[in-house]
Amino acid sequence: MCGIVGYVGTENTAPILLDGLRRLEYRGYDSAGVAIQSGGEIALARAVGKLRNLERALEANPIRGTTGIGHTRWATHGRPSEVNAHPHLSGPVAVVHNGIIENHLALRARLVERGAKVVSDTDTELVAHLIHEKLREGHGGLEDAVRRALRELHGAYALAVMSRDEPGRIIVAKASSPLVLGLADDATYCGSDIPALLPYTRRMVFLEDGDLAVLERGTARITRLDGTPVERPSKEIDWSPVMAEKAGFKHFMLKEIHEQPRAIEDTLRGRLDRERGDIHGHEIGLSEDDARSIRRVFLLACGTSHHAAMTGRYYLESIARVPTTVELASEFRGRDPVIGEGDLVIAVSQSGETLDTLVAAREAKERGAKVLAIANVIGSAIPRMSDAAFYTHAGPEIGVASTKCFTTQLANLLMFSIWLGRRRGTLGDADARALVEQLARLPILMKDVVGGTRQLVMNVAKRYRDARDVLFLGRGLNFPMALEGALKLKEVSYVHAEGYAAGEMKHGPIALIDSAVPVFVLMPKDRWYDRTLGNLQEAKAREGQVIAIATEGDESAHAVSEDVIEIPLVHEALAPFLTVLPLQLYAYYVADLKGTDVDQPRNLAKTVTVE
Ligand code: F6R
């Protein structure tokens, strides 16, 4: 969704704001703008479309100054246009905002009645007018005006506000939308996401809901909305700026697909106890007693993370024998679910900020369930509200389509299931050792599969790039991979694709198959193999173009498929880590051949902080 950056320091701010916004591009946006304190005024530049347009506007009319705020907007109220782009001005006040002000209609009516000249369709402009009004009424300056304005706002916001009359100062505030501060000796930064600030500082402070901070050069004074001072400890972020760059790959998505062996290695590091066949579970935040007494597990997630959660259910049920439900967070929340003490919620979210997952987990916690977060962004909202956080270490994922975060989520879910299975006595020594050993080998296997299948997948993509519909079939652990293959293809190449449980084919979707439909069949050697092979033959009999993702040396797959993409023989729990790789590559290559905006597909945003 939208991105915010802010800078107070000694350098010329426009290039810093543009650079920060560029690093937030992956979140998705349709217009952008900056406001800079310059020569006793606030100068504004805004443009519709890509950041290049804003850059051109700034080249044509440069703005110099050492304090400024910038924004990339993903339209919610009002279409993408220059007038709707942030920052919004009212008198001396400039505002950028992420989130949604729920009482905007009533606010607009009140402000207009009192004489405000509202020029855009946005809720954010109303915030600027409201702060301006408070500034005129009060004597406490901008900080006091923001504080009083916020009392009248309902909804979600991350705000950055400046006044022409208070040079070298930015006020920021947060409720439900992410906001992080970056501290350096001679400058203070703010941003809606870590990558925006990474080249400048690794010392970051995560604000909590209801915090307001006054940023000046090199300092940040944080208070609650009522003015009570609070300390928020700073954290050193170990992501390097280079991790957020393309490193010679054409797109972030391709780079991140190739990075998966490294991401898995980082995620496993220090957690595997190979000697005992166990997992070091200190981060999991559950006692041995808790582990034994958990009644049920609820996995809550959205989109790709939901597919990881679906796989997690297989792990939890087969390894830890604990009854497990997987829920789309957007459907769980507000449904009045039967959940409470003794239940464990695992909220799976790469960003840690997805609003539906956050609200669903919060509702479960209020009813007495324990909440464990699996997230990739340290200090993000979901881990903060959870009882414990079991982080993935994928590094920053910039491509909007999740790849490396997905496989690291699988790794954490598998590790958690092993840990739980050991404590509940459902996973014996030998099985546990075998699983842990295979997990340790996973990075090498993944590297081989990415490297070994790349060319073949590219050829398959060339052949089927114009297919109108594509089917993905899988059973058991590979059913969620079929869904994931279809989602990846849809979101980056805009090709219609469906993922199905292979056994469901004859209950309807088989009617879709003809010689124009490529059908990917995920059929590693596992307990579902024979039945999946049967489904492959059914697809073939209807002239479907079958591409099998099968275990090396599978003669039956070769006999009936147009193409076979081979993966090594592994424990069935590990197969999804490998079968999904060619599917990610296929989605990428089709998208690249079609020339879509692979890293920022249309209409999508990386972090979905609206409902
Ligand atoms: C698809 C994708 C999305 C996210 C979903 C949840 O490639 O990335 O479907 O998985 O928006 O996001 P997180 O994991 O941040 O909660």
The predicted model gives 510-533 an average pLDDT of 93
d(CA 323, CA 54): 53
Nearest-atom number in ligand 1 for the CA of 409 is 14
What are φ and ψ of residue 456, in 5° steps? Answer: -65, -45
Amino acid 600: pLDDT: 85
Distance 462 CA to ligand 1 centre (A): 27
The answer to whether the CB of 401 is under 6 A from ligand 1 is: yes
- Predicted confidence band of residue 24 (pLDDT cuts 50, 70, 90): confident
How does pLDDT run across 328-370, given as a tens digit for each residue? 999 998 888 999 999 999 999 999 999 999 999 999 999 999 9
**Percent of the chain predicted with pLDDT > 70:** 100
- 213: amino acid identity, one letter: A
> In this structure, which residue's CA is closest to atom 7 in ligand 1?
401
What is the rounded average pLDDT of the residues 540-550?
92
Q: pLDDT > 90: what percent of the chain?
A: 82
The SS3 of residue 532 is: helix
Class of domain 254-594: alpha beta
* Per-residue model confidence as pLDDT tens digits over 129-153: 999 999 999 778 999 999 999 999 9
Q: Do domains 3-245 and 254-594 have the same CATH topology?
A: no
The amino acid at residue 41 is E
Q: Looking up tokens 């293959």, which residue turns up? A: 485
Cis bond upstream, residue 92 (ω within 30): no
Task: Determine the pLDDT at residue 607.
Answer: 74
Residue at token pair 């081989």:
448
Q: Which atom of ligand 1 is nearest to the CA of 605?
A: 11
CA of 351, closest atom in ligand 1? 15
**Nearest protein CA to atom 15 of ligand 1, as residue:** 351
* 216 SS3 class: strand
Question: 97 CA distance to ligand 1 centroid (A)?
Answer: 22
Tell me if 339 sits within 8 A of 297, measured CB to CB.
no
Better-predicted residue by pLDDT, 246 or 582: 582
Q: Considering the domain delimited by 3-245, tell me its CATH architecture.
A: 4-Layer Sandwich (3.60)
User: Binning pLDDT at 50, 70 and 90, where does residue 505 land?
Assistant: confident
CA-closest residue to ligand 1 atom 13: 349
pLDDT tens digits, 402-447: 999 999 999 999 999 999 999 999 999 999 999 999 999 999 999 9
CA of 601 to the centre of ligand 1 (A): 13
Question: What is the pLDDT at residue 335?
Answer: 87
81-138: per-residue pLDDT in tens? 999 999 999 999 999 999 888 899 999 999 999 999 999 999 999 999 999 999 999 7
**Element housing 414 (H / E):** helix 404-424
478 Cβ below 6 A of ligand 1: no
pLDDT band at residue 289 under the 50/70/90 scheme? very high
Q: Torsion angle, CA of 372/322/405/547, rounded to 10 degrees?
A: -160
In short, whether 303's Cβ falls inside 6 Å of ligand 1 is yes
Residue environment code for 381-398, b if the CB has 16+ CB neighbours within 10 A, otherwise e:
bbbbbbbebbbbbbbbbb
Identify the DSSP state of 437. Answer: H
Locate the ligand 1 atom nearest the alpha carbon of residue 403 and give its number. 7
Ligand 1 center to 449 CA (angstroms)? 24
3-state class of 12 per DSSP?
Answer: coil
Amino acid 431: pLDDT: 95
The domains of the chain are located at 3-245, 254-594
In this prediction, residue 1 carries a pLDDT of 62
pLDDT digits (tens, 9 = 90+) for 600-611: 888 777 777 767
Going from the Cα of 350 to the center of ligand 1, the distance in angstroms, rounded, reads: 7
* DSSP assignment letter at 168: T
Is residue 26's pLDDT more than 80? no
Render the burial of 11-43: b for 16+ CB within 10 Å, e for the rest: ebbbebbbbbbbbbbbbbbbbbbbbbbbeeebb
Query: Is residue 255 among the annotated active site residues?
Result: no
* Residue-level pLDDT at 610: 67
2 is catalytic: yes
Across all residues in the chain, what is the average pLDDT? 94
Residue identifier of the C-alpha nearest atom 9 of ligand 1: 303
Residue 5 reports pLDDT greater than 80: yes
pLDDT tier, 508 (very low <50, low <70, confident <90, very high otherwise): confident
What mean pLDDT comes out for the span 294-305? 97
Cα(126)–Cα(267) distance, integer angstroms: 44
pLDDT for residue 520:
97
Cβ–ligand 1 distance for 304 under 6 Å, the answer yes
Q: Are 133 and 112 in contact (CB under 8 A)?
A: no
